[in-house]
Structure 1
Amino acid sequence: MPELDSRILLSRLRLAALLLLGVVLCLAPYRHYKPASGLLEAVRERDFISIHTRNTPTTYYEGRHGPTGFEYELMRRFADFLGVSLTLDARHHIQSALDTVREEGDLAAASLPLDLTQQDLIYSRPILDLQPLLVYRRGLPPVNSPEGLAGLTIGTIRGSGTDRVLRELQAEHPELGWQESSDLEVAELLGRVENGSLDAAVLFEHQFRINRIFFPGVERGFPLGKPLTMAWAFPAQGGLGLQQEANRFLAGLQRDGWLDELVARHFGHDDYLEYVGARVFIDHLNERLPTYAELFREAARNTGFDWKLLAALGYQESHWNPEATSPTGVRGLMMLTLPTAGEMGVEDRLDPAQSVNGGARYLRQLKERLPESIQGDDRLYMAMAAYNVGLGHLYDARTITEEMGGNPDSWEDVREALPLLQKHEWHSKTRHGYARGGEPVIYVRNIRRYYEILTYVDRSQQQYLQLNELANGEDDGAPLFDIISPLL
């Protein structure tokens, strides 16, 4: 009997082992499947998504109204799409964003090129075409083809995809060599081209468009190779769930046309300023603005405006020339009329301090006199238009806007009506008559552009101000570039 009991026990153990093996085999697909939605489930369970990015004008930066940037707007909408909040770590360059997302975080969105050779990462569907572009220092012979690169000191950003394009080009042109760095961003790269540390650089076309205003000494060369693709990167061990949701989200934006609209808004305005005007503006920014910047800051403290907005208005009025005088008799840095100067208590319109203070207080007065129904930026833009054309003509344009079925409290609608004040059929019906109504439209547009530039320089381009130090040799001695030697 003991022998029988032992056989029964052994049989039962074998059966238990088989059952356990069956359970393991049944669970194996489940264990494989669970991570496929694990990261997405974790994001929803903790109620936020963690994203690694870069602090650049094409990805994420702090704007006038808070965080902004092309990829930031996508990230924010994606978080809303998932129904969670958003946390960002913007202390990265490209490679560190990729390295970190492998270990922690949910995705990397840092103007990343799609690179299927990257280990332990999966990518979203394409977001944006990235066209590599060769740019070079103004004054060098034109560089229009790869053959013109011989002998030039070229720089690029490692991991951005442009380094990959250069390696492909080197296979056809073995004499080609360059320098690449993970520690520089586009503004610094362009600054080194302008100051002579580099002869040329390879970056992406949209990056040049958004930065070229700050580097008038850099010329556009030629497109280099075929476009690459921007995408988001996810940790492969997190499975496919989050990536699939991102693809569904991006496909919807593309289908609805919102993605194209976002691209146009962030990268489509290469007409910031006419190019000669851009060089003049940068020269004046460096040479004239430092003399008057504190006056603008003081006036801003007294009136509640951003000092850079007042500086932008001052540039539009006089190019920061305190002795400017127009044929119509307006004078000074803020180009005040004699009656306005008297109203603001300005005794000497050519005195920069009095002019800036008087102009800022006049702008505030105009803003305060507008109807309460005009809110936000619309109120500011209409106040600036009134600074140029007068409050009466602005009210006339609001009346025309209403007659045309538009919203008189919307600057976008009023700016369409202002040029009609130049036409007899319209201005003959208004209280204040004819006005050169097209001018305030251009006036406000220019101030907004100057303000964007000043904000960018003041905020996200501390590197821009440091370029002069680098040019003067005030470097820490650490090598910023790795040298990629020619194959020959």
Structure 2
Amino acid sequence: MPLIPSAPLRHTAIALLAIAVLPLLPEPPRTARQGLLDTILIRELLSVHTRNTPTTYYEGREGPTGFEYELARRFARQLGVSLTIRADHHIESALEAVRQEGDMAAAALPLEPDLPGVVFSRPIIELQPVVVYRRGLPPVETADDLPGLTLGAIGGAGTGRVLNELQADYPDLRWEASSEVEVAELLGQVEDGELDAAVLFDHQFRLNRLFFPDVERGFLLGDPLSMAWAFPADHSLTLVEAANRFLSGLHESGELEALVARYFGHDDFLEYVGTRTFLDHVEARLPQYTELFREAARASDFDWKLLAAVGYQESHWDPQATSPTGVRGLMMLTNATAGDLGVSDRLDPAQSIHGGARYLRQLHDRLPESIQGKNRLYMAMAAYNVGLGHLYDARRITEQRGGDPDLWADVRESLPLLQQREWHSQTKYGYARGGEPVIYVRNIRRYHEILSYVERSRREFPRLNARTTQPTPIDP
């Protein structure tokens, strides 16, 4: 069932991630809570409690991103205030923080009207529970298949409520729910055999499934829940009412549906396409850009086929491409990166290709001198995808685990750990979809190999023909 707009770990040291570079003003006295919206407008700052996950908030390639971050940013802009994000929470701690501190929690929270100490906004989107299970087990296709399995869920996410309801019909049903794990850890436990199956939300699985190939999608479980924002209950409803007006307007204008499609409607953009499809694109699309790749390669001192492989991984050589997160063009540059590179039109193939080549060269040259050869190239490509900050975080994790931070083979083992709270809570830049750059580099290397093979073949096969049918040698 698609995610659609509806009508309506461990505890870590608290890290304040300020989106606006502003000093935090002290919280008003408890008695001032009666006018929380007025207080926010006076201090010109909205404080939001959230989680460091791909569906809520994280540092992406283009800066702070995430579905709930984008909603909160727009809400703050409508109020005319700056935004501060506290992203060190899990679900239960986000709710407790909003009870004690305010202003609001936006952390993929299930709407629970009777929850003490908080009041919820109108529903934002639907959350459809789904059962997933480890590949190799007998198919898990209905609720009849669940008793006897070791089942896991995220505490406070709302899936436990669905399981409680199901237990009335299946008394032998058992599960473990923990607020100390996030989706990546839960799927990792299924893949590693610690759990047989898990219940999470369908959009969460679609966003993460590429990184857990041994986890199968089972079946949709129960009716959809609603996601909503939470506010402290001990003040007037003016802030809640303002949020409801904002969310209603976003829904009526179609912007909410567009945001859902942007963040949750593209779960296969990193999939490796078949060799036949790639070769078809080599014949049909690449020739019109080959000379641009050659020019950019001469200017940046890269193999033109490597740049072409990066371009294919980014956009399938489509100069009009736009990603779910807003990067655009054949080399999929962010708006900020394009500005830094002097690219005025990201959709112009020449500007995009030359800009992408310069950006890859900058990343390559900024890496520590201790990283050499192919290791340096692969890490530069990974940084093109995930950002230098997250790459450096992965290098530090590699050292912690006893690996060599200058070897791509070791760093690529650490990058996926940025999806796990246990590890990303210790880093400077926090959560990242660390499995992506691993797949990204693997794909580019394979595309590059195929392009090199094609180029060699086009040189050699005419020569072979020349020996038997052509009297004149052919220039390579």
**TM-score scaled to structure 2, two decimals?**
0.57
Where in structure 2 are the equivalents of 1:43-442 lying within 5 Å? 43-273=40-270, 277=272, 340=294, 344=298, 359=306, 381-382=329-330, 409=345, 411=347
Counterpart secondary structure, 2:188: helix
Aligned to 1:350: none
CA shift in 2, pair 1:37/1:247, >3 Å = farther
Alignment gaps of 5+ in structure 1:
1-33, 282-315, 319-325, 331-335, 347-353, 365-376, 386-407, 415-447, 471-488
Contact 2:297 2:304 in 1 (8 A): no
Q: C-alpha displacement at 1:355, in angstroms? A: 6.3
Contact 2:330 2:349 in 1 (8 A): no
State the Cα deviation string for residues 377-418 of structure 1 (Å, max 9, x = none). 999834689xxxxxxxxxxxxxxxxxxxxxx9462999xxxx
In structure 2, what residue type is equivalent to 1:465? Answer: L
Q: C-alpha displacement at 1:238, in angstroms? A: 2.2
The CA distance in 1 between the partners of 2:346 and 2:156, in whole Å, is 44
Q: C-alpha displacement at 1:270, in angstroms? A: 3.0
In structure 1, what residue type is equivalent to 2:161? Answer: R
The CA distance in 2 between the partners of 1:273 and 1:378, in whole Å, is 15
Q: C-alpha displacement at 1:237, in angstroms? A: 0.7
CA shift in 2, pair 1:65/1:270, >3 Å = closer
Q: C-alpha displacement at 1:456, in angstroms? A: 12
CA shift in 2, pair 1:378/1:151, >3 Å = closer
Contact 1:52 1:97 in 2 (8 A): yes
Q: C-alpha displacement at 1:185, in angstroms? A: 0.4
Q: C-alpha displacement at 1:211, in angstroms? A: 0.8
Counterpart secondary structure, 1:238: coil
Counterpart secondary structure, 1:176: coil
CA shift in 2, pair 1:345/1:264, >3 Å = closer
**TM-score scaled to structure 1, two decimals?**
0.55
> Which structure shows the bigger proportion of residues in helix conformation?
1
Q: C-alpha displacement at 1:199, in angstroms? A: 0.8
Counterpart secondary structure, 1:160: coil
Q: C-alpha displacement at 1:162, in angstroms? A: 0.5
CA shift in 2, pair 1:52/1:466, >3 Å = closer
The CA distance in 1 between the partners of 2:69 and 2:309, in whole Å, is 36
In structure 2, what residue type is equivalent to 1:193? Answer: V
Please, what is the CA RMSD of the aligned residues?
4.5
Q: C-alpha displacement at 1:72, in angstroms? A: 0.3
Aligned to 1:465: 417
Q: C-alpha displacement at 1:51, in angstroms? A: 0.7
Counterpart secondary structure, 1:91: strand
CA shift in 2, pair 1:257/1:451, >3 Å = farther
State the Cα deviation string for residues 69-109 of structure 1 (Å, max 9, x = none). 00000000000111110011000000000011100020000
Counterpart secondary structure, 1:39: helix
Rg: which structure is higher?
A: 1
Alignment gaps of 5+ in structure 2:
1-30, 312-324, 334-343, 351-380, 395-412, 423-476
Paired-residue identity, %: 52
Counterpart secondary structure, 1:90: strand
* Structure 1 ranges of 4+ moved more than 2 A: 34-37, 270-274, 339-346, 354-364, 377-385, 408-414, 448-468
State the Cα deviation string for residues 26-59 of structure 1 (Å, max 9, x = none). xxxxxxxx97851111111111011100000000
